[in-house]
Amino acid sequence: MALRDADVIDGKALAAGLRAEMALAVERLKRDHAITPGLAVVLVGTDPASEVYVRSKGKQTVEAGMNSFEFRLAEQTTEAELLALIGRLNADPEVHGILIQLPLPPHLNSTLAINAIDPSKDVDGFHISNVGMVGTGQDAIVPCTPRGCMMMLRRIYPDFRGKTALVIGHSNIVGKPMARLLLNADCTVIVAHKSSTNIPELARMADIVVVAAGVPGLVKGDWIKPGATVIDVGINRVPAGDGKTRLVGDVDFASVSKVAGAITPVPGGVGPMTIACLLANTLTACCHAHNLSESALSSAS
């Protein structure tokens, strides 16, 4: 067992630092090139959680000095109407990033909508072209949550070689791209999912455990190798008594934090990094659109 509680990885602080870097880069982009990155978010319907996410994304986009474009469409919007809007955004030079807020209403095909986005403006990193390029280790837009997780992990492991990682969950949004990024970094990667029968045994082998299973408190302390790093991507709302609810992750924080070397909390861990990485992806897309060096913006005085 670890001699002390795990270090808690402060996602809020890391995200604030990244957003500050983005704001400085945007300021220099405006000053030196008269260019303002623009992010368009498309929301179809009135899903309450999606409404919250869209408001938060819009607020942080503006705070970073970027242009925020919101398109709120009725629940009954047709596929043709949605695709037409995506086509207009693809052609708009003021829009450098396009995000389709998921989930879409059941009558709309999410895969069709995502793959209609110009890959160079796909700041979620979900377009099949970006997925394939990330999978083969090429330069591409990386999905926001896995990108944020990798940024957190690199603060602990500058070199992943010789490390073993377990990714619990194999969704297209988190699990699969997370595994690919770790593989690309020369980490030994194991992927488990709901059909896996020996997850605790696999977890005890891992130096890094990334959990994105959507099951509250799934991972227990006795699953974890002492000193391992645990990244909890889960966001679950559970009863808290008196009719109230609270947010918890996929990791039993109380027991795992007694064994792990480092752990992300929920809330305040991976979540803030996801939106910060969305802004970073938008800046990257903008720089690519104008053949500019993003690193030059970061190092400018």
SS3 169: coil
97 SS3 class? strand
Higher pLDDT, 300 or 291: 291
Cβ within 8 Å of residue 17, ≥6 positions away: none
* Nearby residues of 13 by Cβ (< 8 Å), 6 or more positions away: none
User: Is the per-residue pLDDT at 261 higher than 60?
Assistant: yes
The one catalytic residue among 60, 101, 163, 252: 101
Buried b (16+ CB within 10 A) or exposed e, 49-71: ebeebbeebeebbeebbbbbbeb
Q: How large is the average pLDDT for residues 271-285?
A: 96
Residue-level pLDDT at 5: 84
The yes-or-no verdict on residue 296 having pLDDT over 80 is: no
- In this prediction, residues 149-159 reach a mean pLDDT of 96
Q: For 230-250, what is each residue's pLDDT tens digit? A: 999 999 989 888 888 998 999
Q: Is 92 a catalytic residue?
A: no
Summarised one tens digit per residue, pLDDT across range 171-219 is 999 999 999 999 999 999 999 998 899 999 999 999 999 999 999 999 9
Indicate if 194 belongs to the active site.
no
Q: Which of 57, 121, 176, 225 is catalytic?
A: 57
**Per-residue pLDDT tens over the stretch 37-57:** 999 999 999 988 889 889 999
The DSSP bridge partners found for residue 211 are: 168, 232
Q: State yes or no: pLDDT of 28 exceeds 50.
A: yes
Contact yes or no for 287/274 (Cβ under 8 A)? no
Q: What is the pLDDT of residue 240?
A: 85
The whole-number pLDDT of residue 299 equals 56
Closest CA to 53 of 124, 156, 1, 151: 124
Residue 1 binned pLDDT confidence (cut-offs 50, 70, 90):
very low
What pairs with residue 192 in β-bridges? Answer: 168
CA distance 85 to 227: 49
Q: Is the pLDDT of residue 2 over 70?
A: no
* Residue owning tokens 């895969």: 111
| pLDDT tens digits, 121-150 | 999 999 999 999 999 999 999 999 999 999
Predicted pLDDT of residue 207: 98
Residue 241 has a pLDDT of 81
Q: Is the pLDDT of residue 298 over 90?
A: no
Average model confidence (pLDDT) for the chain? 94
pLDDT band at 4 (very low <50, low <70, confident <90, very high): low
User: What type of residue sits at position 245?
Assistant: T
Which of 60, 121, 122, 124 is catalytic? The answer is: 124
| Residue 207 known to be catalytic | no
The pTM score is: 0.93
